[in-house]
Structure 1
Amino acid sequence: MSTLLRVLLCLVLFASSAYADFKIEKTDNNGLRISHDGKPFAEYVVDQGNKPYLWRVYGPTEKLMTRAYPMEDVEGERKDHPHHRGITFGHEGINGVDTWAEEKTFENYLENPKRAEWAQGRLDALGKIVHRSYEDVTANKDYCRFIEICDYVDSQGKKILEEKRTVTFRANAEQRIIDFDQELIASEGQLHFEDKKDSGLSIRIPTSMDVDSKLGGTIINSEGQTDKEAWSQPGKWCDYNGPVDGETVGVAILDHPNSFRHPTRWHVRSYGLFTANPFASKQFNSANPDVAFDLEKGENIKLLHRFVLHKGDEKAGKIAEAYEAYASEPR
């Protein structure tokens, strides 16, 4: 075989295998773009709103699994709650600092004389989750992962805590999987976590999937509770499935047994918000106990969750089986 032929053969082989694995690359302003087998999986944004988030998250059939608003204006999408950005985390009250909402949340309220004072008070409490650095960014044929350090700061920029965030992406023919492992560390001093329903790890699903659109969207949790009955209830997992571009797809969030306050409660709404929230009890139901708590300096809590993006409903997606597999993994 001639040298030229060998070179050409190598080029052909390289071209056929170059995308047969994960790829993770930096975007402008220190974000990340993740792809698998040459197809987009997700993008991590760190320079918009007041906290990092994943969006343009694609499922195993290449359907978008996150609402585009407020990053893009798409006809037919709901335009409520602009702080529901893709997949993100926030808490409405840590030492009085709110990282759940953002400035855009209160824009319209400021123009209403009856709500302006309330809105200004909420704005004054807003903080930020600030990307500090990536400790590691890894990609290979089996998975890709980034480990990020974030600083939580108040409205004046004073740091109140730090987070070590490890996000891992995997894929197979039936599922795309995102592990979201968080360690919240009382690095600066004592922390007080209020009992708040607007807190936790969230995904805002596409409008066509939500229950209120009445196109077939369904919520179901590990206890068999569905739709509005599943809101605020504890469970090992919860699934939201429905149509996107004529195809039934779904997303489940699994709560690992070693995650803080397992089994978590689910702040899951029929209009499309889907949140694992171990921080609330009394705000869900006034008859429940208040679960506010303190962390002393140097202490931490761990939040361990897995997103399973799947075909069909929770049965077709084998979510109960996926949870058992996840629960058996050490964390």
Structure 2
Amino acid sequence: MKKSFLALLSFFVCMALAAQTARKGFELVNRPGQKQVDVVYNGRLLTAYCYTDSIAKPFLYPVNTLGGITVTRGFPVKPIPGESTDHPHHVGIWMNYESVNGIDFWNNSSAIPAAKKAHYGTIIHQKIRKQSASGNKATLQVTATWVNQAQDTFLDEQTTYFFEVMHNRFSITRKTMLTARQQPVVFKDVKDGFFAIRLAKELEMPSATSKSFTDDKGNITTVAASGPGIPTGMYYASNGKTGDAVWSSQGTWAMLKGKKDGAPITIAMFDHPSNTGYPTYWHARGYGLFALNPLGRAVFSNGSDSLNLVLPPGRSKTFTYRIVVAQQALTIPEANEMEAAFKQSHY
């Protein structure tokens, strides 16, 4: 009887160890019913590629550290009591732009009334082309189309996400090729774009007063004062600027450092020298929007610089960026090291 019990116990222990071993490293879990692909590492969700109908573009959400701390805002997908509810188009990690042949892809959300929808565009997920996961790396390749409300396609998009864990940090590298369809596509120099993450309340910068922001159509969004004791964030950039001064400055990297759930958090974003507009301008706001925008040069430079990028029919432009999510207080020398490694990488 005792031998049988020990044998049974040994069997279950072996099964548990085998299951644990099987869950080591990355795994991509397709959930077509929920229109998402979960990015799992050692059995824990790090993020998910989401292409739900209710949001006007594909996005990564939520975004978690390796230790399980969520760094993205919940609203509008899963609102959290007490968090900010401004700018409902800020969702997880995403890429789009405010003026593509005059159509606004950036500001489109369920908050836009039907009578005004003709001025806004949607990025529609088409298919998952390829995916792989092994050890500390995973890759997900998807396609999408940029369309107006009449379903005219301006751009074909092919995006590959490279997920990696290294030095106890989670990195997301996004490589996106945009190809103009049957007409030239003009990216007018505007403020709102291009590659972005919307951060949790705790990672905002403290603010004692409310602030108002106006888009290119005159719509005003007011962001309430953060209040004491919750936000802990502070921006640092490769150009030496900090805090609010990072906004509209140019640099090769920027990072946001703060605390959440009692742990130090760093979110770092990197531009690649192969990109148009390198080094990028930073659209980094204290209220939690952390973005880079290489295409809005006339706005950020007060007219001393301009781009107004044009893609002729059938021509493409590729953009490659990286976000590093660390449950660590990363230093400026460490950011410089990560930048050097990214500059030397080829995707």
Partner residue in 2 for 1:134: 128
| Alignment CA distance shift 1:139-1:282 (3 Å) | same
Q: Which amino acid aligns with 1:36?
A: Y
CA distance in 2, matches of 1:243, 1:290: 37
| Alignment CA distance shift 1:102-1:317 (3 Å) | farther
Partner residue in 2 for 1:31: 36
- On the 8 A contact 1:34/1:42 being kept in 2, the answer is yes
Q: Percent identity?
A: 26
| Alignment CA distance shift 1:188-1:31 (3 Å) | farther
Aligned counterparts, 1:51-200, within 5 A:
51-106=57-112, 120-121=115-116, 123-200=117-194
How much has 1:281 moved relative to structure 2?
Answer: 1.6
How much has 1:160 moved relative to structure 2?
Answer: 1.0
- Please point out which of 21, 39, 45 is paired with 1:17: 21
1:44 aligns with 2:60: no
CA distance in 1, matches of 2:263, 2:18: 34
Stretches of structure 1 lacking an aligned partner (at least 5 in a row): 111-119
Partner residue in 1 for 2:203: 209
CA-based RMSD:
2.2
Q: Which amino acid aligns with 2:267?
A: V
Describe the superposition over 1:18-58 as per-residue Cα deviations: whole angstroms up to 9, x where unpaired: 11111111122431011100111101110131100111110
- On the 8 A contact 1:179/1:306 being kept in 2, the answer is yes
Describe the superposition over 1:204-263 as per-residue Cα deviations: whole angstroms up to 9, x where unpaired: 011111113464310011111011110011111010111111222011111111122111
| Alignment CA distance shift 1:299-1:59 (3 Å) | same
Number of aligned residue pairs: give it.
317
| Alignment CA distance shift 1:197-1:207 (3 Å) | same
How much has 1:151 moved relative to structure 2?
Answer: 0.6
How much has 1:329 moved relative to structure 2?
Answer: 1.0
Q: Secondary structure at the match of 2:325?
A: strand
| Alignment CA distance shift 1:29-1:9 (3 Å) | closer
**TM-score relative to the length of structure 1:** 0.89
Q: Which amino acid aligns with 2:21?
A: S
CA distance in 2, matches of 1:306, 1:157: 31
Describe the superposition over 1:65-113 as per-residue Cα deviations: whole angstroms up to 9, x where unpaired: 1100111121121111000001011111111121111233445xx9xxx
Partner residue in 2 for 1:270: 286
1:246 aligns with 2:262: yes
CA distance in 2, matches of 1:257, 1:293: 17
CA distance in 1, matches of 2:110, 2:79: 15
| Alignment CA distance shift 1:209-1:296 (3 Å) | same
CA distance in 2, matches of 1:287, 1:186: 27
